[in-house]
Structures are given as C-alpha cells and as structure tokens.
Amino acid sequence: MEKRATFSSTTIGLVFVAPMLLLIFVFFYWPSGQALYWAFTLEQPWGGGNQWVGLQNFQQLLSDPVYWNSITRSLVFGVASTAIAMGVALVLALFTDRELRFHRAYRSIFVWPYAIAAPALGLAFRFILAPEAGLLSVLNSIWPNIWNPALDGKDAMIAIVIAFSWKYIGYNFIFFLSALASIPRSLIEAAAMDGAGPARRVVDIQLPLLTPTLFFLLVINITESFQDSFGIVDIMTQGGPARATELMVYKIYFDGFKGLDYSGAAAQSIILMGLVVLLTIVQFRFIERRVHYK
C-alpha cells in the first residue's frame, strides 16, 4: 500500500521519524540484540563475564518438557481468549450497530471492561471465582469440589481465560463499532432495498469492510495475550497450580528474575520472539492481500 502523493525531502522525513527510532533503538533493538548474545552464552548472575556455550541453552530448553508445556499453554490461552474476545465483541458490535432501543447505553457500557487494569480485574476475578467465597463458590456448595482454580489446573486456565477475554471484549468492541459506524449508511440501505436481509448484509457488506479492523485486532489481541496476561496470571494463579497456568512470559520472568537464570530466560525470549515474528509475517502475507483500506 503506497501513497501516490509523497514529499521528497529526505531530511524532514528522517527528522520526523528520528525520536521514535532513537527510542526503539535503545529500548528495543539493543535489548533484543543483547538477548540474542545472552542466549548463546552463559551469564553469571553476579557479573564475572560471559562464556560462549553455543546452542547449549536452547538444547537444554527444548529437551525440557516443562518448557514445552509453557508453549502449549500460551498457545491455548492465546487462541481461546482471542477467539472469545473477538467473537463476542463482533456480535455485540453488530447488534449494537443496528441501533435498537438502548443502543447508546450498550455503546457506552460494553467499553468499560477495557478500562480495568489486568491485575485489578485479576484480583476481582480471583474473588469472584474463588472456591470458598465470592460467586462461583455456589457450585461447590451444590456439588462439593467441582470448581477449584487453586488446585485444578484446568479450572485455573479457564479462570484466566475468562478474566482476560472479559477485558478484551471491551477493547475489540470499541474498534469494531467505530469501524461499523464508518460504513456509509447508504450502502446498507441500498442493499436492504435490493432485498438483502440483516445476515446477508453482514456477510457481504459489513464483514468485508471490517477486514482492516479484523487484521489490526487479530495482531493486537494475540500479542496482548502474551503480554497483558502477566498481571492476571501473577495475581490470580502465580503460574500454578503445578505450573498449569505458567505462560511463556511468566516463565521468562520467573526464570530471569526469581531464578536469576539470565541465559535461560534470554533463550526463552529468543524463541518467543521468533514465534511471534513468524506469526506476524504469516499474517501480513496472507491477510494484508485481502485488506481494503478504502
């Protein structure tokens, strides 16, 4: 996607982009490079130089079932929460966009969950979903021990997926609704006049015009599921029970700062970075082709 009308002054162009470049060089590329260096060396946590060890850090990681576990769990978490958050938000946005009664109230309120800090809603959901108090504990008083995120890994995973998707429904809803609202009314009316029902209009008009938003949200949701989940996991489960909710970022934090295994954490970072970059390229190649910017 290129602009036809552009400016030719290279200097001014570079001046505009320079502050951002400087920041991302110092706080993004340098640290990423350093992670690469650390991943192939063995760093003493209290200083004393690095020792080149080649692929040893990676071999150690990849032969570690605990690490594979954290990859699987991150993917399960990311896919489940993105699917729920985007699916529910899309349905709510499509219905709110029909401008039935109270649509103004819906439009305001569905956005609220997005305002809440992940650790704060983590704490709220920890109470709501607690096995011995709160709301879901009712289940336990009917069927004892059916729900216990503190002991059952599956329950804990469900709990963090619920908490995370609850927040991101609000986020996705904003973007879907404003994209829907920017679709010209005349298009919808013309289609209705030609006999297209609501479902037909969604499939043939609204969804195609939503593709840029869908693409943007897909990228953001998946990265946020790696990133914003940290607060939820740290407050709700701390990776437990028995590592059942130890997502990749939580493991990096835990190994790097609690275990002081910088090299191991750096190698994990590199693998996560690779995974994520791969995802971006796939998305860009296969999705941008079908995105309409106008």
Distance CA 172, CA 167 (A): 9
Nearest Cα residue to 77 out of 168, 201, 200, 199? 168
CA angle 100, 101, 106 (to 5 degrees): 85
Instruction: State the nearest-atom distance from the C-beta of 189 to other proteins, in Å.
Output: 6
**Interaction residues for other proteins, span 150-169 (CB under 8 A):** 166, 169
62: contact with other proteins by CB under 8 A: no
Which of residues 26 and 66 has its CB atom nearest to other proteins in the complex?
26
- When binding is defined by CB under 8 A, the residue of 13, 87, 208, 259 that contacts other proteins is 13
Cα 89 to Cα 85, 94, 226: the distances in Å are 6, 8, 20
**Interaction residues for other proteins, span 173-212 (CB under 8 A):** 174, 177-178, 181-186, 188-189, 192, 197-198, 212
234: contact with other proteins by CB under 8 A: yes
Number of residues that bind other proteins (CB under 8 A): 120
Let me know: does 279 contact 226? Beta carbons within 8 Å.
no
Which of residues 113 and 153 has its CB atom nearest to other proteins in the complex?
113
Q: What torsion do the CA atoms of 31, 81, 167, 198 make, to the nearest 10 degrees? A: 130
**Interaction residues for other proteins, span 33-52 (CB under 8 A):** 34-35, 38
Binding part of the chain for other proteins, among 50-58, 68-76, 77-85, 268-276 by CB under 8 A, reads 268-276
**Interaction residues for other proteins, span 86-105 (CB under 8 A):** 88, 91-92, 95-96, 98-102, 105
Query: How many CB atoms within 10 Å of residue 165?
Result: 23
- List, in order, residues 6 or more apart from 5 with CB less than 8 Å away: none
Which of residues 35 and 161 has its CB atom nearest to other proteins in the complex?
35
Let me know: does 205 contact 124? Beta carbons within 8 Å.
no
Which of residues 5 and 49 has its CB atom nearest to other proteins in the complex?
5
